[in-house]
Amino acid sequence: MAHGIGLAVALALMWWVLSGHTEPLILFFGVLTVVIAVGFAWRMHVLDREGAPYADLHRRVPYWFWLGGEIAKANIAVVKLALRPDLDITPRLVRAPIAQTSGLGLVVYANSITLTPGTVSVDVNETDILVHALDSSLSGAEGFEDIGERSARAFDPAVSA
Report d(CA 94, CA 50) in Å as an integer.
Answer: 30
Report which secondary-structure segment, H or E, holds 122: strand 119-124
pLDDT, residue 35, reads 94
Confidence band, pLDDT 50/70/90 cuts, at residue 160: low
- Is pLDDT of 71 > 90? yes
Angle between helices 103-115 and 141-155 (to 10 degrees): 140
Surface-to-core class of residue 120, CB atoms within 10 Å of its CB (0-12 exposed, 13-18 middle, 19+ buried): middle
Percent of the chain residues topping a pLDDT of 70: 93
| Cα-to-chain-centroid distance, residue 10 | 17
What is the rounded average pLDDT of the residues 72-78? 93
Per-residue pLDDT reduced to its tens digit, 99-146? 888 888 899 999 999 999 999 999 999 889 999 999 888 888 888 889
Cβ-based neighbours of 72, under 8 Å, separated by 6 or more: none
Q: Could you tell me if 153 and 105 are in contact, meaning their C-beta atoms sit under 8 angstroms apart? A: no
Helix%, strand%, coil% for the chain, nearest 5: 60, 10, 25
Query: For position 49, what pLDDT does the model report?
Result: 67
Q: Rounded mean pLDDT of 1-12?
A: 82
